[in-house]
Amino acid sequence: MTFSENCNKIFDGCINDYHKTDNVDTLVNNPFKERSLDWYLFSKNWIDAVQWHLEDIIREPSIDAVEALAIKRRIDRSNQDRTDMVELIDSFFMDKYSNVKIQEGATLNTETPAWAIDRLSILALKIFHMKAEAERPNASVDHRDSCNTKLKVLLTQREDLSGAIDNLLSQIEKGEKYMKFYKQMKMYNDPSLNPVLYGNKK
């Protein structure tokens, strides 16, 4: 099994686990050894699954304004958790490939492995929900056909991205590419960097 095949298997399993309750307040039950790469991957996708549904909830036209604000702040926290998890995954790869001899002419990739994996995780959610729409019995035939067409594109996209991730890791392992990753340094959650937050301090 390739690395990306393992990722997709974990992501699909995680999404199925989430939909056993389909509740954003369900506690994660990660089946993998804590702090292992698989544990990080499952945790990452669980964060994405919960946030996906929070984004659905906040778009309810009749939602109470107070509830909407609380969910928006929860989404902000989730975005930070998502970024933190990506950085933990990249740290894993930095450690794994720390002794690789970098070849002359080696180049950087446009994104780190973990940020590509982040996109793969989101794709798994898109595929799950597009498939559900393509099979929704009370939807029109035109709607189901349209969703089936989109589903095929998403599946092709996952195949292409999976191959690109496997290729990137292979190149890093051979020293043909090298890793550098910069912490995202998100400013909106930091009371010392967001002027709206530090401006309200007495």
pLDDT of residue 189: 66
Task: Supply the pTM of this predicted model.
Answer: 0.90
> Per the structure, how many domains does the chain have?
1
- Measured in degrees and rounded to the nearest 5, phi and psi for residue 97 equal -105, 15
pLDDT of residue 194: 73
Q: Is 156 exposed, middle or buried (0-12, 13-18, 19+ CB in 10 A)?
A: exposed
CA pair distance 26, 7, nearest whole angstrom: 22
CA pair distance 111, 168, nearest whole angstrom: 10
199 belongs to a structural domain: no
pLDDT-flagged residues of the chain (< 50): none
pLDDT of residue 33: 97
Cα angle 180, 90, 162; round to 5:
105
Tokens 């996708």 correspond to 45
SS3 (DSSP) at 108: strand
- DSSP type of residue 25: T
200 belongs to a structural domain: no
pLDDT of residue 195: 75
149 belongs to a structural domain: yes
Helix axes 65-96, 113-134, angle to 10 degrees: 130
Cite the DSSP H helix spans in 19-105: 37-58, 65-96
Give the domain range for residue 115: 3-193
SS3 (DSSP) at 182: coil
SS3 (DSSP) at 178: strand
Per residue in 99-157, pLDDT (tens digit) is 999 999 999 999 999 999 999 999 999 999 999 999 999 999 999 999 999 999 999 99
